[in-house]
Amino acid sequence: MDNQIQLTDVIFVDNEYSLKHPHMIHRHENVLELLYIAEESGRYIVGNYEYAVTAGDFVVCNANVPHGEDPFQQHCIQTYCLVLSGVKLKNLPAGHMVAENQRPVLSLGKDNFVANLLPNIYKMFHGTKNYRTRRKTPPLGI
């Protein structure tokens, strides 16, 4: 396939922001999200299913698929989100990394290399001079 994959954003949502702001189920037309649960646990909705997630889990949110934290739970999950565009994999629709019938949650365990890698990716993406916690931005397209 003709992949033109681009990392379009890296978002960090800390516990404080997560506790104080409403969470909406949303979707993105032209990008997919790879969501890493850095701390805590909760419930995350992808498509028509709700999954228990905990620190060390990676969640694939395909393009145009509704997703988000369960709006009726207490929100304390700390996450990193990698936003990718241009994903085109063989036998999958554009913007998809997993098939609709596959579980979109991959459990890596709390002590894994991704836990150390994502803060560095965030710093590289946003620059290291003014590194600070970035709050989650509004959805890219509902």
pLDDT digits (tens, 9 = 90+) for 10-48: 999 887 777 777 678 899 999 999 999 999 998 999 999
pLDDT of the residue at 79: 92
Tokens of 63: 């393009």
Sorted by where each starts, the structural domains of the chain and their CATH numbers stand as 6-126 (2.60.120.10)
Residue 2: the pLDDT is 62
- Which pLDDT does position 53 carry in this prediction? 95
Confidence (pLDDT) at 72? 75
- Residue 132's pLDDT is what? 43
At 34 the pLDDT is: 96
Please give the model's pTM, rounded to 2 decimal places: 0.83
Q: Are strands 49-54 and 6-13 parallel, antiparallel or unpaired?
A: unpaired
Weakly modelled stretches of the chain, pLDDT under 70? 1-3, 22, 75, 128-142
